[in-house]
Amino acid sequence: MAAQSEELRRRIVADINAGTPGAKLGSERDLAERYGTSRSSLRQVLAALEEAGLVHRIIGRAGGIFISHGQVERNLSDVVGVPAFLTSQGYIAGTRVLSTRITTPDQATKTALRLNDGEYVVEIQRIRLADGSPFSLEHAQFPADAFPGLLEQQLGGSLYEILETRYGLVTGRADERIEAVNATSSEATLLGIKPKAALLLITRVTYDQNGNPCEFSRDLFRGDRTALAVTAQGRGIARSEANTASVTLQRQAG
């Protein structure tokens, strides 16, 4: 029975991902007939999807089951891999590796990773999936000399887990900068959204347990699927200079 429920859930999630937010999936009767299942089994699966924020129910003559496309919460207070925070919120994490290479870093990367002339980086580009639906586009770079053989590893899961288990690196902290940007045509195609749709660009420098930079990444998150969360500590006005969070207003061109 558990296997049948999981198969039913996957079929419904596939239809949700193929649809658009606000679209009607159908009534309970329609869906039970479409998926060839009992209404009691359907209700159990729909209840779990509703709790996860993927669908919502409207009662009445024009009611039924509608697509919500619930938002994935990205907690800025923790340095964790994407699979960890997806799993904690009830999603099935997935990854599509787009490209990998060892290359010469640009100036921003050299500065962030404190690299010298002639040093290289390992570059990994991936699409992250939540229940099969794309929600982020990752572009991560690591010092090549520090992580030999990184591209020979299984890159579909958490890179932080690989760094810890294979190289003994533990993430100490991450400095992140968040900007609102618009999707280019290529980014929109990869993420399944319209060109110029809203994205959150998170530029991150991650440091190891010794304070050395180990990762420089530029990640794009779908604005319609991502909510940011942070826990801020109150320190009092007299100690406000100790706070490390800041908001920067960018000057508009023209």
Q: What is the mean pLDDT of the chain?
A: 83
Return residue ranges of the chain for CATH 1.10.10.10.
1-67
* Residue 235: pLDDT band with limits 50, 70, 90: low
From the CB of residue 218, how many other CB atoms can be counted at a distance below 10 Å? 17
Better-scored residue on pLDDT, 181 or 245? 181
Percent of the chain past pLDDT 90, that is, above it, reads 44
Helix axes 2-18, 28-35, angle to 10 degrees: 110
Cα 166 from Cα 215, distance rounded (Å)? 16
Among 217, 223, 139, 228, smallest CA distance to 183 is for 223
- Which CATH number applies to 72-229? 3.40.1410.10
> Which residues of the chain are in CATH 3.40.1410.10 domains?
72-229
Mean pLDDT for 106-119 is 96
The predicted-structure confidence for 146-198, as pLDDT tens digits, reads as follows 999 999 999 988 898 999 999 999 988 889 898 999 999 999 999 888 899 88
Check residue 133 and give its pLDDT.
Answer: 76
Checking if the pLDDT of 49 tops 90, the result is: no
Per residue in 61-103, pLDDT tens?
778 898 875 556 555 555 556 666 666 666 677 889 999 999 9
Q: Read off the pLDDT band of 236 (50, 70, 90).
A: low
Residue 194, Cβ density class (10 Å: 0-12 exposed, 13-18 middle, ≥19 buried)? exposed
- Distant-in-sequence contacts of 32-39, Cβ < 8 A, 24+ apart: 35/8, 35/11, 37/4, 37/8
What architecture does CATH give domain 1-67?
Orthogonal Bundle (1.10)
Contact 67, 54 (CB under 8 A): yes
Question: pLDDT-derived band of residue 250, with 50, 70 and 90 as boundaries?
Answer: very low
Residue-level pLDDT at 247: 42
